Amino acid sequence: MIDVQLYVNDNTKIKEKVAIALGNFDGLHIGHQKLINIMKQKSEELGLESMVFTFLTNTKTVLDKDNNIELLMDNTQKEKELKKMGIDYLCMIDFSQDIMKLSPEEFIKKILIDRFNVKLITIGFNYRFGYKGQGDVDTLKEIAKKYGIEVIVVSPVKCKSGQIISSTYIRKLIKDGNISTANILLGRNFTLRGKVLKGKTLGKKLGFPTANIKINKSIIPKLGVYKTRVLYNSKEYNGITNIGLTPTFDGKELVVETHLLGFNEDIYGKDISVELIDFIRPEKKFKSKEELITQIRKDISNLSNIIH
């Protein structure tokens, strides 16, 4: 695998013939994974290099300023997960004015053909591209045929209920606290990532020291207490995480605070990842500090030893 990132302002060109997967790929859920794996399989069959092309900023938020999409993962997480999939090239570029103004055919010719020597394109059933999203699946097929490029359109992946698996649907599940189902559709545990901050040390005063982080993403899960798994310094720890406003102490700001079981190191300033495993209970304002302590003890004792 060639460990590279290609940016618009680079002059990098790929001489080898390329199979490419196009999309925003927010969350890299199992539908996205199917699309990329189909591209990868075809690239191997045809002797092509495999490539994923996406943007550093979700195109929908740029094209529609009122569309404040709550992203499921940041670019660091996306890059990490895409590289795990064993692709040869990853292109994450800025959705710049120059890119936005390209017509559908200009995008294919100037970017996909001239820069990346693309011979096969894999897209989702609802893919749009080019200036103001003028190009759709049929447009792409028509233009690609002109340049001798094969196009594979991947049909949607559905839940047993018939619901199409999408980033939008997974966001709703997370906002509703249905994290276990969201994790199944993501193909991994939904993860909050950030640097451990110096908080008000409320957890320590209660006897349950916590690592507080400022999350590097815009989506906020349902407020409450979660069973979690924490990755720190290449090691995994079981944890219990509260996402909320600490109403017992009349808190006003959102906090994400995690108590790591059997852990007592000072990790202020360190980066940690918190995987949400299951929703335990909604956030609640307790009548006293003692009542809160009792509930925390109960939450910890109720945690399953199985972290999956």
Cβ(281)–Cβ(244) below 8 Å: no
Half-sphere exposure of 93 (CA within 13 A, CB side): 19
- At residue 237, the 3 state secondary structure works out as strand
Cβ(248)–Cβ(194) below 8 Å: no
Active-site annotation holds for 70: no
Q: Specify the DSSP class assigned to residue 131.
A: G
The total of other beta-carbon atoms located within 10 Å of residue 233's CB is 10
Separation CA 34–CA 205 (nearest Å): 48
Separation CA 12–CA 14 (nearest Å): 7
Write the single-letter amino acid at 6: L
Q: Which of 108, 96, 103 is CA-nearest to residue 130?
A: 103
Q: Which residues of 43-82 are buried (b: 16+ CB within 10 A; e: fewer)?
A: beeeebbbbbbbbebbbbbbeeeeeebebbbbeebbbebb
Catalytic entry in 257, 265, 290, 291: 257
Q: Specify the DSSP class assigned to residue 157.
A: P
Q: Which residues are tagged catalytic?
A: 257
